[in-house]
Amino acid sequence: MDPSSHHTGSQLGKYELLEKLATGGMAEVYLAREHGIAGMERLVVIKRILPHLAEIQDFVDMFLREGRIIARLNHPNIVQIYELGSTPDKQYFLALEYIPGVTLRELQVLASKHDLEFPEEVVLEIGMQTAAGLEAAHKLEDLDTGHPLGLVHRDVTPHNLMCMSSGLVKLLDFGIAKATQGGSEATFSGDLKGKFSYMSPEQALQKPLDARSDIFSLGIVLWESLTGRRLFKRDSQLEMLQAISKGDVPSPALWRKDLHPKTVEAIMKSLAKEPADRYQSASEFHQALKQAAEAKSHYTLADATSSLVDQIAKKRLSEQSRAINAAKAKKSLSPSQRHRLLHETSSASYAGLDEEAATIVDRPEPTNPSFGARPYTPPETDTDALLPDMEEAPTVIPSGTTEKPSKIKPIAIISMALALAAIIAFVAFQDKLTHKTYSRPAVTLGWAPIVNPDVLRKEMEPLHTHLSDTLDREVKFEVSDSYEQLANQLRSGEIEFAMLPPLLYVQTSEKDPRIKALAVKEFDGAMTSDGLLLTRSGIKPGDLEAIKGKKFCLTDRNSTTGNFLPRAYLRDQGVDPNEWMGEIIWSGDHLQLLKDLGDGVCDVGATHSGAFISADKQGISVSKLRTFAITGQVPQDVLCASPDVPVQESQEIMKALTDLKPKEAFGQDYLGNTQRITGFVPASEDMYQQLRKAFKTEVATK
């Protein structure tokens, strides 16, 4: 079985893999079907460790630890695991409960779009159910000693709470849970984990944690749901941590005069700066929320949540259902359908990018006063590109062999003649394709030198041929010598279109606002990439002093993940990157950087998760490399048009890309071993707002 298969009904044990939903830095996620006895079946989510990481014991241990923890948590308000398994060829996987519904973050955004305040009873109900799930997790005992593990979730956020149409709420993603009391399942990392804007003060200050930290995080979630505002969201991680550590929390009643006093009291007590002043257990918090609901006389179990989901998320759930049915029927899903499944099942939270990484459903946040974050949902395309599969060229056997010819029978001569005629016809057909004439003038699509130009050309030639045939005009291929040159070529009109890395798009559009983002490429089903700081084994993740003055491998001065994000990350940690980075080695492209780091040319390297994933396909070993930090999350490369290109022509090429399905167009699940393109989605300016803000901050500090 091809581990990278997106769709074909491949088997993993007793599970039929229906559709790959995403690939993270550690694992890939599939929608799958479990076949049981007497024709029984159920949908599951399969999370499988990436094949090239299966030999790295640290990754395997982290993966299995999460599985063991979830497997022992049997509660209706916690996602269920059906199996933690492996195959003889070391494919480690988790089979998890498939959860139809919407995340609380989606519900918040949908309420905002409908101009609805979040009903108080819904917030109370979600809080009660989440507290019940947390109580079960906090009480989990060590199997050997019977003593409490002191499990702390550490990532209680709206993204990790799934709201089902039945009204049931489930807590997801125990990937960074921490057992604080020792035992066989304990974790000993003191690293800062979780989403910064939902941390407790003690978590932000890296102090010892217990159940009261999760209570604080849940308090943030409920406060934001009631007010429609972000409590601790700031421009930088450092500012967020400072705001949390100060513990200055305004009352939600300042924005909601209708709240019952008991509701306000419960929320504010959960958000007390000192753990001793909060509820001492999740069950205490649950009881306080229940009393508030009863006092308001609207305690109706899960009815309130069910009604809200039905009221504002019916369309989403209907779209999700259609995508599921298409996957079950083994139809190829469009990129937007895959993202819809990924988003609304919150399967993204299983992707295991890194313990510090935000889930692949987070999107850059616009300056919107309502909830701050407005996830981007790509629009559906109405048409599908139905192109024949590409044929493989026949093998050409070199002449000059010294083998003696054997006697050939007449029928063999006829067969050979027919075969030769077929080859001649095929070559003529290929020559015709190569010299095909189009009715419209040629255009050029430029690429940045993100990998070796020869490799990039070989991988992207099928895409250019497809675009040429679809648009009835030759779409020429060109790789610029540098990122800066590509931007200048696009702005001047020397080339009509360019695939710009995210920072280069932001920089270019700042200089010329006429440059617009058209379509974002998918990397193995993901619209975003995680910036990574990598080191060779032996350096503790997050230990800034350990990398001070070390040799750094970077890619290009205008690279997003290969230069900009690592510098921004170091500044967020309160240090000057120019002082912290020692000698800088400019590797040129991301794969060369990984090779340089592996060969010991440098001690620290900055790249992105996609390069790390595809390195093994290029024969580059990453087994000795370790993730030091996640430096940020950014969109994938984006197609842009030169200012002088007519709008209609821009829309034509955008549609040709967003209609593209590699399986139907090229007979393969993705295009290119380094680019791994699974499709394109329409771009949204919302996707770049955080990066644009960071870029302006960077410019202002110089």
Burial code of 448-476, b = ≥16 C-beta within 10 A, e = fewer?
Answer: bbbbbbebbeebbebbbbbbbbbbebbbe
Which one has a higher pLDDT value, 490 or 303? Answer: 490
Among the candidates 284, 310, 336, a domain finishes at 310
Instruction: List, as one string, the DSSP characters of 260-284.
Output: -HHHHHHHHHHT-SSGGGS-SSHHH
> pLDDT value at position 24?
67
> pLDDT value at position 499?
96
Q: What is the mean pLDDT of residues 210-238?
A: 90
Residues 145 and 267 in one domain: yes
The number of helix segments (H) and strand segments (E) in the chain equals 23, 22
Over 90: is that where the pLDDT of 56 sits?
no
In a domain, 419, yes or no: no
Which one has a higher pLDDT value, 343 or 393? Answer: 343
Residues 131 and 154 in one domain: yes
Of 200-209, 235-244, 551-560, which has the strongest mean pLDDT?
551-560
In a domain, 203, yes or no: yes
622 band by pLDDT with thresholds 50, 70 and 90: confident
Over 80: is that where the pLDDT of 535 sits?
yes
Residues 286 and 337 in one domain: no
Over 80: is that where the pLDDT of 638 sits?
yes
Residues 213 and 334 in one domain: no
> pLDDT value at position 253?
93
Average pLDDT, the chain: 79
Among the candidates 293, 310, 327, a domain finishes at 310
> pLDDT value at position 98?
87
Instruction: Kindly report the CATH number assigned to the domain that includes residue 21.
Output: 3.30.200.20
Which one has a higher pLDDT value, 569 or 266? Answer: 266
Over 60: is that where the pLDDT of 381 sits?
no
Which one has a higher pLDDT value, 359 or 29? Answer: 29
Q: What is the mean pLDDT of residues 606-630?
A: 84
Residues 655 and 548 in one domain: no
Which one has a higher pLDDT value, 231 or 9? Answer: 231
Instruction: Kindly report the CATH number assigned to the domain that includes residue 169.
Output: 1.10.510.10
Q: Which residues, 6+ apart, have CB-to-CB distance to 607 below 8 Å?
A: 531, 532, 534, 555, 561, 562, 590, 593, 594
Instruction: Kindly report the CATH number assigned to the domain that includes residue 577.
Output: 3.40.190.10
> pLDDT value at position 496?
96
> pLDDT value at position 481?
92
Residues 459 and 518 in one domain: yes
* 560-590 residue pLDDT tens: 999 999 998 898 888 999 999 999 999 999 9
Percentage of the chain lying above the pLDDT 70 cut: 79
> pLDDT value at position 616?
74
Of 328-332, 501-505, 663-667, which has the strongest mean pLDDT?
501-505
Over 70: is that where the pLDDT of 435 sits?
no
The enclosing H or E element of 84 equals: strand 81-86
> pLDDT value at position 424?
52
Residues 112 and 172 in one domain: yes
Among the candidates 347, 372, 396, a domain finishes at 347
Overall size of the chain counted in residues: 702
Using alpha carbons, select from 270, 340, 240 the residue that is nearest to residue 124: 270
Percentage of the chain lying above the pLDDT 90 cut: 37
Which range is least confidently modeled, 116-125, 211-220, 308-317, 557-566?
A: 308-317
372 band by pLDDT with thresholds 50, 70 and 90: very low
In a domain, 172, yes or no: yes
> pLDDT value at position 680?
92
Over 60: is that where the pLDDT of 379 sits?
no
> Does this model's pTM top 0.75?
no
In a domain, 392, yes or no: no
> pLDDT value at position 216?
96
Total of domains in the chain: 4
> pLDDT value at position 655?
94
Over 50: is that where the pLDDT of 109 sits?
yes
Which range is least confidently modeled, 442-451, 559-568, 686-695?
A: 686-695
> pLDDT value at position 617?
75
Q: Which residues, 6+ apart, have CB-to-CB distance to 551 below 8 Å?
A: 582, 583, 584, 585, 601, 602, 603, 604
Q: What is the dihedral of CA 641, 642, 648, 650, to 10 degrees?
A: -10
In a domain, 353, yes or no: no
Which range is least confidently modeled, 356-370, 468-482, 633-647?
A: 356-370
Measured distance CA(104)–CA(259) in Å, rounded = 20
Residues 154 and 40 in one domain: no
207: tokens are: 């102090």
Which one has a higher pLDDT value, 623 or 672? Answer: 672
In a domain, 679, yes or no: yes
Query: Within 10 Å of residue 414's Cβ, how many Cβ atoms?
Result: 10
Q: What is the largest CA-CA distance in the chain?
A: 99
What range defines the domain where residue 584 resides?
528-635
> pLDDT value at position 356?
30
In a domain, 411, yes or no: no
Residues 57 and 147 in one domain: no
In a domain, 433, yes or no: no
- Concerning whether 659 is annotated as a catalytic residue, the answer is no
Catalytic entry in 142, 155, 596, 644: 155
Residues 480 and 590 in one domain: no
* 413-430 residue pLDDT tens: 444 555 555 455 444 445
> pLDDT value at position 370?
36
Residues 296 and 257 in one domain: yes
Residues 109 and 232 in one domain: yes
